Each structure stands twice: as structure tokens, then as C-alpha cells.
Chain A
Amino acid sequence: MIGYVGIDVGSVSTNLVFIDDGGIIREAIYLRTQGKPIETVQRGLKELDGKLPSGTKVQGVGTTGSGRHLTGVIIGADAVKNEITAHAVASSLLVPGLHSILEIGGQDSKIIILRNGVVSDFAMNTVCAAGTGSFLDQQAGRLGIPIEKFGEIALQSKSSVRIAGRCAVFAESDMIHKQQMGCGLPDILAGLCDALVRNYLNNVGKGKEILAPVVFQGGVAANAGMVKAFEKALKLPVQVPPYYDVMGAVGAALLSREAVARKGTSRFKGFGVADTDYQAGSFECSGCSNLCEVVEIAENDRIIARWGDRCSKWSNAIRPEEKIS
């Protein structure tokens, strides 16, 4: 089997997929990043290598997510692309005729509007992380329910209670207040879903024209309570695609297929990357008053990449990488 690997390194999860030459998803792995992107990617690669039949050939690798540059350097990526483009590419392949993508991840949320198969508009949350996965996670933790059960419990609600949605701090204090008043847990959770959807549509959606078909993806799409709240607010059916939680990785794999088709060869370093020793470190450059935080990535004690310096003194000191993102 030959195919492409896509890796999405997000704040909360790291996802890896393997798609075959025809664009069919063969393997998908969802891992928690837990603040250790390099180790997680290595663990994921090892797992993926074990799952794939022997003799599988990786034709190309793409990375996306907030850790895309770091991961790209480590594994030798052919495409390093932002999440918006990756999500749009993946969804338009899996859901033909798609018009709107709602995406809520760990730290960010975005909306992508497509017309005729291309992105016509998008937005991402700006200053506020209220309504993203991390907040739901934290609230589930506070209420002592596993995050996987959140949606199920919310769906039991008969009438949701009103929770303030525009700020995580307001939402939390409202929830505590309603909880102390004696409101039931399902009603509070359903109220929280409504509040988050309201905040999303106001803060991210900002009056964009959301037309069917609508897909909802990203980790939060696992929450059935959120899906229902979206359907209620939009008065439209909302689909959750089968690989909703790894769509970014699927997009990255597809983009690497394009990139490799363009240049002919892949830069992928092989699954051996999983056993190579990498160190990431940072230091403050004292060359001028900018005091840049320079990040250094070393492979077996050899520096392979540096970034973060505004004057490029450090990043230019090593072999300049070909521009791939």
C-alpha cells in the first residue's frame, strides 16, 4: 500500500492519519498532546507504523495545527499548512457540496464558509477562548463528569437553564450560581451548550451566512449536546462527519499529496523519527534589546532548526530551509 501521512498537532490533541493513494482514510490516531508535542508525534508515528501493513510506502507527509512548524522540521514534511486551509480541503473532499464548516478545537474555534468548493470566507476566535474545548473540559472536570459523558447528559435535559456565554469567567460563575439554586445537572449542561453556541455564532460567526450543508468538526463535535444546540440555533441539520476529530490531519495528508505531485519527491525522514532523540530548547538572545526568545530544535545533538529571532541572525546561521509553508 502506498499513501500519505497527515499530522495535526493542536493544543489539546495530536492526530495522525494515513490516507491511501485514492484519498481513502486507512488509519486514524487521536492522542492527547499534553504539552509535549515532539514526544506525542513520535508516539503517534510509532503507533501508526505498527498499525500499517508491512511494505507500506509513505509518499509524503503534511503537518498542520499550532505545532506544524515544529513537527514539520522533525519529520521532514512536504506541506506545512494552517488549519483553515487543511480543514477546508479535507471537508470538501469528504462532504461534496459543503457550504459551512463549524470547527471547535481545544483552544480555538473557527468558521469556514465555502462556495463552489473553495473557501470564500473564514473567521477564528480572537481574544476569547470561552466556548472552546479546553473550557468544556475544565467544566466537566469541575462537575466531576467524564468529558465523554458530557453530551449524553446534556441531551437528557427537558429545559435548559440560561448561562452567560460571552466570557468563561461569567459562564462559570453563572453555572455555580444555578447549581447552588438547585437546577439539575442535565439542564445546566444543556444551558452551557446553548451559551457556547450563542457565543460562537456572535463572536466567530459574526453574521456570516451559514447555509446547509453544515458540518461540525473538531474535538468538541463529539459532544452531542453541542450538536443539538447548534441545530436549535441555526434551524438547520448539522452533520458530524465520521472523522470529525482528525479532519485537520486528513487535510494535511491531502495537501502533501498535492505538494509531492508538484515536486516529485518527499522529504519524509521515515518512521525512524520515532526513535531519534530530539531536544527542543529556547534561550533569550542578548544581541539587542529585543531579547528574542529563540527556539532551537536538535536532532541527536545536531541543531536542525531555529526560529523566533526577529533579525534572523540565529535562523540564518544554519542551513536555510526551503520555504514549504
Chain B
Amino acid sequence: MRVTFPHMGNLHISLKAMFQTLGVEVVVPPPCSKRTLSLGSKHGPEFACLPLKLNLGNFIEAYELGADTVVMAGGCGPCRFGYYAQIQQAILKDLGCALQFIVLEPPQRQITELLVKIKQLAGSRSWWKIIQALRFGYRKARLVDEIERVALRSRPREKIPGSTDAAYRQALDLIDCASSWEKLTAAQEKAKEIMDKVAVDFSRQVIKVGVVGEIYTLLEPFSNLYLERHLGGLGVEVHRSIYLSGWVNEHLFHGLAKGMGSGKEARSASYPYLRHFVGGHGQETIGNAVRYARSGYDGIIQVFPFTCMPEIVAESILPDVCKDFGVHYLTFIMDENTGEAGMVTRLEAFTDLLARKKEAKEALSS
């Protein structure tokens, strides 16, 4: 069995580690590129959202590299994602790509439902081995997330443009290459050292922006036209509302690992603006916007793929939230377009506005 999976930001680092520990052969699809997008939009249904198309492209490219099994998450509720595995499987079959699908549905009641699926992948390997693999993969996810957080803090303050990105790539590589628990501990220290070495100027005034929205477009930089990097370059410190490890913990492990930022807080913060689940991360988007506004962020940016229903619901509620708290927001809807000029213009104008507001506020309070 040669297993592949869809790309979503740095998810591959964690999944690769997990499968390799299990002794399952892994084919990591090439990173999302224009080719991935072209393949996906050629073979995917026109009306589907960007994540379906990119993932379909990932699978085709992985198949070309010899993958024979796809592992992906399923889902339920009003977001179409729950149905994507079936659609993609049917499309790939028509294309003559013989790929078997193993769909990890979020457990409805308890974690054992998930473990059964995992057993299907692991074959005769012991439960002990499986748990080890899950722990190892999850640990990598948390380390990767931590590196991302540090990068978001240092990018707007870096003294040499581009130094954060270079360190970030190096640090991720170290985590990715560590093949055992002990080696990962060493890599963790080395990665921290590399990230700490980036020369930053903490006296610099930065604007703080919280990014909310649909998980895929938040986590996969190719799909959001490298939004976080552009913002960092404009001197904006970004806080992202969803991280991979938090999502995995909540949706697949049912909150087994305690003390992670949970969606529960976000959902309760969404009252009274949005009182119930609207699919995807719609409710979390509103809740996180409220939380950012309460914690004094200068602005909020929402990203989602074109036609994403839960986020469209959230988009229509955001103006009210922002009006009540006096913060500004900007929405980006991502689709096949790869021209970044329009986005950069809006981001520039948005940061100009936030910077002037901040200056005015500080002038008043001093």
C-alpha cells in the first residue's frame, strides 16, 4: 500500500511521520502549484469550491508518483466537504486513476470509531504501535504550529526582509526530517534556535490583525495567495484563528489533549450574533472575530473559498460584529485566480487605514 493524502498547509509533515512510524509507505503529493490547480479545475465540477479542485489535483499528481491509496478526512453537516471524498473518488475512477479511498470521518460518539479506520490502514500492526504513530504525528503537528506562530510574530519585525521565511523553511525541514522521538527532540531545539536567530526589532510599532474563516484557505498558503506573508511584509502581526493541531485534537481526537485552544470557546463567543451551527467554521468565524475584537486587535480579515456557504453566512454577520466593537474587517474570497495585485492593493489600503486609526487613538490617549 502506497498512501497519499491531500495537502493543507504543513499537514503533510505530520501525516508523513504518522504513516512512516506505522510502517506504511507514503507518497507526499508535490506541493500545490499552478499545475495542481489546472488539473483540479479541469477535472473537478465547475461549481465546486477551491479546496476540492486543489485536492483533486494533489491526488492526480500523487497517483503519477505511484500512490495507490488516498487517506482523507470526511465530514458531516451542511458543508459540502463531507461529500468530497465520494465525488473525488468517482472522478478519479472515470479518469482511470486506480486509487482506493480511506475516509476518516470525525467520530460521532467516541474515538474508537476513528481507531477502527486506522486499524484498516495499519493492518496487523499492534495497537501500541498505532498509538505511538498517532502521538508522533500529533507532536509534529504541534511543533509545526509553534514554528508558524513564531514566524507570524517575527515577520513584521524582521530587520532583514525575507529572513523569517528562510528560517521558517529551515526549521520546518528539521522537524520533517526527524525520524524518531529522540531525534525530534533534538530537531525541536535546533528549530527553536534557528527561529530565535532571526534579527527582529521589538520596538517597532506593528498592527495586529486576526485572520478568521474557512480552515482550508486559512491553512494552505497557496490557496490564500500567501496572505500571511503579504501581511507580514506590510508590518502586520497576524494571529490565525485555526491551527492544524487544534483542529485535529477537537475533530479527530474529540478533545483528548487538554489545554488546546478549542472551538468551543469560539462558538460560545459567537452569541448573540450567531446562535447555532451553520456548517464548516461559520460559527467559529464569528466567535473568533468577537474574541479578536475584545482583545484589542486592530483589524480582522476573513478568507474563504468562493461559494462557501457557512462563511457567506458569517460574512453577512461580520459587519454587525465589527460595528459594535469598532474594529475594521476585510473579506477575501479565494478561487482560481492567482493574480496577487488586487489583494495586495486591498491589504495595503487596509493597513494604511488601521495604522492611521492606531496613531489617532494613541495620540488621544497620550
Q: Are A84 and B162 in contact (CB under 8 A)?
A: no
In this complex, how many residues of chain A approach chain B with their Cβ under 8 Å: the count is 28
B319 touches A206 (CB 8 A): yes
Q: Provide the main secondary structure of the chain A interface.
A: loop
Contacts of B331 in A (CB 8 A): 126
Residues of chain B with a CB closer than 8 A to A206's CB? 319
Check if B333 sits within 8 Å of A119, measured CB to CB. Answer: no
A289 touches B30 (CB 8 A): yes
Cβ distance A169 to chain B, nearest Cβ, rounded Å:
14
User: Are A66 and B341 closer than 8 Å at their CB atoms?
Assistant: yes
> Using an 8 Å CB-CB cutoff, how does the interface string of B345-366 with A read, 1 for contact, 0 for none?
1101110110011001000000
Q: Is there a chain B Cβ closer than 8 Å to A325's Cβ?
A: yes
Nearest residue in A to B162 (C-beta to C-beta)?
A312
Hey, which chain A residues are within 8 Å of B328, CB to CB?
121
B residues in contact with A81, CB < 8 Å: 348
A122 within 8 A of B: yes
> Which of B31-39, B70-78, B92-100, B286-294 interfaces with chain A?
B31-39
- Evaluate whether A127 and B335 lie within 8 angstroms (CB atoms) in the complex, with A66-B342, A83-B345, A121-B328 already known: yes
The size of the chain B interface, using a CB distance under 8 A, is: 28
Output the nearest chain A residue to B349 by Cβ-Cβ distance: A84
Complex contact B33–A289 (CB within 8 A): yes
Nearest A-chain residue to B334, judged by Cβ: A127
Contact of B31 (CB < 8 Å), options: A84, A289, A312 = A289
- When the two chains form their complex, are residues A84 and B352 in contact, meaning their CB atoms are under 8 A apart? yes
Determine how close the nearest CB of chain A comes to the CB of B57; give it in whole angstroms. Answer: 12
CA separation between A290 and B338, bound complex, in Å?
Answer: 12
A207 at the interface (CB under 8 A from B): yes
B277 to chain A, nearest CB (A): 25
Q: Are A119 and B352 in contact, CB atoms less than 8 angstroms apart?
A: yes
B226 interface contact, C-beta 8 A: yes
A122 touches B353 (CB 8 A): yes
C-alpha spacing A99/B165, complex, angstroms:
41
> For residues 285 through 318 of chain A, which have their beta carbon under 8 Å from a beta carbon of chain B?
288-291, 310-312, 316
A126 touches B333 (CB 8 A): yes
Given contacts A66-B345, A82-B349, A84-B352, contact A291 B35 (CB under 8 A): yes
Bound: A126/B330 CA distance, A: 10
User: Contact partner of B34 among A85, A119, A291, CB < 8 A?
Assistant: A291
Contact (A118, B360) CB under 8 Å given A127-B335, A290-B31: yes
Are B360 and A124 interface neighbours, CB within 8 A? Answer: no
Within A266-289, the residues touching B (CB, 8 Å) are: 288-289
Closest approach, in angstroms, between the C-beta of B308 and any C-beta of chain A?
12
Chain A residues contacting B332 (CB-CB under 8 Å) are: 126
Which residues of chain B in 311-349 are interfacial with respect to chain A, using CB atoms and an 8 Å cutoff? 319, 328, 331-333, 335, 341-342, 345-346, 348-349
Question: Can you list 15 contacts pairing A with B, beta carbon distance less than 8 Å?
Answer: A82-B345, A118-B356, A121-B328, A122-B350, A124-B346, A126-B332, A126-B333, A127-B333, A288-B31, A289-B30, A289-B33, A290-B31, A310-B226, A316-B162, A320-B161
